[in-house]
């Protein structure tokens, strides 16, 4: 049945058409070098999603858009657009092993929360750059799976703007507004959006407001840029649906949309601002930014007597860097050197309810100081070969304490120095076909939630236990093909990790695991068959295993790491069947995967595979763009995340995803 759905989706979009080559547009990327460059300037492979790709896609959220690309898995346990993302098979810690940037500034936090995808208006995005399995040298920790950089729109040559509105199932209402203006020396672009929806589940209402702005002016031999933004979100948490075969309790069948947590909710408010400059020098380019980000969160969970969290987190960073062209041994070289300085400040109050937050049961204060120097040199070995060698040395000082608990084990400090490197090679066989490969070392530091245990002390009180940095030896080799309207990437990779930071359900603790391993295959390609028809495909084969380890008498050597589907396939198509009307769609297949908490691989069943199909019909009429979309066309009843109960019991808790749903939108450009 799943194969029939995939075939039907392809036939609907592709059957009437034949293929003929067209020209592809030139691309500029910044992620591979932290400066403007072409994708071919680096030894790594860069996937670019343009603003036109976003407009054509049937995806309604950023994670859904990213899931159409090789190596990327998404999952949800709260029904919001802020889905967890996982590059190259890290399961529950995918968010912490995928580095996400907004205009080069880190969005990952030092706590176990998802990236705030919903705080970035889709209308504000110029392009998205994805580098699978790379980024540790230039950007630091958390890039073992890869790096995703979201580039927002800058002021254009002409003043322009757009306003849009979307209505959909579950009483969904969304609008977006974007404005741009530019003079001879200065310009600005601003985007705002709001979302209000009851969502699929009971007690899952969401209200979201966002603002992003870019103001820039000519300054010196370059420009000065001020970026700022703000967001707030109010969200209700629907909780799990329980399946218990022993007593025929199957809420996934009888009451998928219900809730057992009608009082649970969360709130979030965030602001960010950065001031930067880029200056052209006689020998190269100098760039720097100073950035500040602040996030406030409150959450309440009524179970077990109640739990209320009030958390404030902020980050201040300074990122100067220099690019210089030079000659060495008679060959051309490009050297990039820089420093990353970042201070994190975390303040979290915990109590039974909002009314008792003045007398908290825990008050966690944490600070993390990162100081890093990096250098990356690319050497041209003839006209067709580039060799890249980069290194980073980072010092992280970490301190945390629970001010409510006087025990010595409720406070801890740690200082660690981590050195990483990357050696990359790219060879162009001809203008269309290139071979690339790299070997390197990456790392990540533990989050506050991973070092704090509310019941880990001698008296079942709080404990703070510092964890060692996670490190990984990463290897990759692949092919890039680009000719006319065709693009293709094929890569195989192998990662051996030590001290992987993970929650171990066998020992009920966050810990440094015994050695683990990831390896896999990624195939991705697209082709514009004509001026009116484009199609693409992305396939991933991913294996994540324990290399070694015995926990509480359970030998996990060779076991599969939970929440990592071995196979994923995404198919996309866009057909412009008249001058003003187009049809686009995508079909995504995700294979079965082990339940969360099943490191022993003894639960006896897996999260089932699923296939979803989305379609969108768009029409242009003058300044108006109209669209109608259906998501989950074949009404697949599936879930992306579930927690296993006792081995062989068949009991599990899951978070059902949306069934078939519809939306209509209108956009006016001026």
pLDDT for the residue 148: 96
Q: Is the pLDDT of residue 603 over 50?
A: yes
Percent of the chain scored above 70 by pLDDT? Answer: 95
Half-sphere exposure (CA, 13 Å, Cβ side) for 451?
28
The predicted pLDDT at position 77 comes to 86
Task: Read off the pLDDT band of 183 (50, 70, 90).
Answer: confident
- Going by pLDDT thresholds of 50, 70 and 90, the confidence category of residue 157 is low
Question: DSSP label at 135?
Answer: -
The per-residue pLDDT for 249 is 76
Assess whether pLDDT exceeds 60 at residue 21. Answer: no
Is residue 18 scored above 50 in pLDDT? no
The pLDDT, as a whole number, for residue 27 is 66
- Tokens 């109590």 identify what position? 351
- Condensed to tens digits (0 to 9), the pLDDT of residues 479-515 reads 999 998 899 999 999 999 999 999 998 989 999 999 9
Mean pLDDT of the chain: 92
**Residue 524 pLDDT more than 70?**
yes
Q: What is the pLDDT of residues 432-454, one digit of tens each?
A: 999 999 999 999 999 999 999 99
Give the Cα separation of 411 and 28 in Å (integer): 47
Q: Which domains does the chain have, with CATH numbers?
A: 2-179+194-669 (2.40.170.20)
The pLDDT of residue 24 is 37
Q: What are the tens digits of pLDDT across the range 342-366?
A: 999 999 999 999 999 999 999 999 9
Cα–Cα distance measured from residue 367 to residue 346, given in angstroms and rounded to the nearest whole number: 6
Given this model, what pLDDT does residue 79 score?
A: 79
Cα-based angle 497, 500, 504 (whole degrees, multiple of 5)? 135
Q: Over the stretch 613-633, which tens digit does the pLDDT of each residue have?
A: 999 999 999 999 999 999 999
Residues written for the chain: 670
What digits encode the pLDDT tens for the residues 108-119?
A: 999 998 898 988
Mean of pLDDT values over 104-133:
91
pLDDT of amino acid 257: 96
User: Do residues 502 and 511 touch, judged by C-beta distance below 8 A?
Assistant: yes
């Amino acid at each position: 049945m799943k194969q029939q759905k995939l075939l039907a989706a392809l036939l609907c979009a592709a059957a009437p058409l034949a293929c003929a080559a067209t020209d592809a547009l030139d691309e500029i990327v910044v992620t591979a070098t932290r400066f403007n460059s072409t994708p071919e300037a680096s030894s790594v492979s860069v996937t670019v999603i343009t603003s036109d790709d976003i407009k054509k896609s049937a995806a309604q959220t950023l994670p859904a858009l990213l899931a159409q690309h090789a190596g990327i898995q998404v999952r949800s346990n709260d029904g919001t657009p802020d889905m967890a993302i996982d590059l190259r098979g890290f399961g529950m810690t995918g968010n912490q092993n995928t580095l996400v940037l907004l205009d080069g500034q880190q969005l990952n936090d030092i706590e176990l929360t998802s990236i705030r995808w919903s705080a970035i208006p889709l209308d504000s995005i110029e392009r998205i750059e994805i580098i699978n399995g790379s980024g540790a040298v230039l950007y630091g920790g958390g890039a073992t799976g890869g790096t995703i950089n979201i580039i927002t729109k800058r002021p254009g040559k002409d003043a322009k703007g757009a306003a849009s509105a979307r209505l959909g199932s579950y009483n969904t209402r969304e609008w977006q507004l974007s404005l741009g203006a530019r003079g001879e020396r200065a310009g600005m672009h601003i985007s705002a959006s709001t979302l209000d929806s009851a969502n699929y589940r009971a007690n899952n209402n969401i209200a979201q407001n966002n603002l992003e702005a870019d103001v820039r002016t000519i300054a010196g031999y370059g420009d000065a840029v001020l970026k700022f933004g703000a967001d707030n979100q109010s969200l209700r948490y629907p909780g799990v649906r329980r399946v218990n075969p022993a007593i025929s309790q199957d809420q996934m069948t009888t009451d998928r949309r219900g809730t057992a947590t009608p009082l649970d909710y969360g709130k979030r408010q965030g602001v960010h601002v950065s001031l930067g400059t880029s200056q052209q020098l006689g020998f190269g380019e100098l760039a720097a930014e100073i950035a500040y980000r602040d996030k406030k969160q409150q959450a309440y969970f009524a179970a077990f007597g109640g739990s209320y969290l009030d958390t404030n987190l902020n980050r201040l960073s300074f990122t100067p860097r220099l690019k210089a062209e030079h000659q060495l041994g008679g060959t051309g070289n490009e050297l990039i050197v820089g420093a990353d300085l970042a201070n994190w400040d975390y303040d979290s109050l915990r109590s039974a309810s909002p009314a008792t937050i003045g007398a908290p049961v825990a008050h966690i204060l944490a600070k993390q100081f990162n100081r890093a120097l990096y250098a990356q040199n690319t050497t041209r070995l003839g006209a067709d070969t580039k060799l890249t060698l980069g290194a980073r040395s980072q010092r992280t000082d970490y301190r945390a304490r629970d001010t409510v608990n006087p025990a010595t084990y409720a406070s801890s400090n740690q200082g660690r120095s981590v050195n990483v490197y990357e050696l990359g090679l790219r060879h162009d066989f001809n203008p269309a076909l290139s071979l690339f490969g790299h070997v390197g070392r990456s790392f990540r530091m533990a989050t506050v939630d991973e070092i704090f245990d509310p019941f880990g002390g001698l008296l079942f009180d709080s404990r703070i236990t510092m964890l060692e940095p996670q490190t990984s030896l990463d290897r990759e080799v692949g092919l890039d093909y680009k000719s006319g309207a065709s693009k293709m990437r094929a890569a195989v990779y192998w990662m051996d990790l030590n001290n992987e930071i993970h929650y171990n359900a066998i020992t009920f603790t966050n810990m440094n695991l015994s050695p683990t391993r990831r390896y896999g295959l990624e195939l991705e390609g697209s082709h514009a068959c004509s001026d009116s028809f484009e199609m693409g495909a992305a396939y991933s084969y991913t294996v994540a295993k324990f290399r070694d380890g015995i926990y509480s008498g359970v030998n996990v050597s060779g076991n599969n790491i939970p929440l990592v589907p071995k196979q994923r396939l995404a198919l996309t198509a866009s057909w412009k069947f008249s001058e003003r009307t187009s049809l686009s769609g995508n079909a995504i297949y995700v294979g079965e995967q082990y339940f969360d908490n099943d490191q022993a691989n003894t639960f006896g069943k897996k999260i089932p595979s699923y296939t979803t199909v989305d379609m969108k019909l768009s029409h242009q009429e003058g300044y108006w763009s109209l669209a109608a979309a259906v998501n989950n066309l074949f009404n697949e009843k599936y879930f992306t995340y579930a927690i296993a109960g006792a081995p062989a019991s068949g009991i599990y808790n899951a978070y059902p995803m949306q069934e078939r749903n519809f939306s209509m939108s209108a956009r006016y450009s001026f």
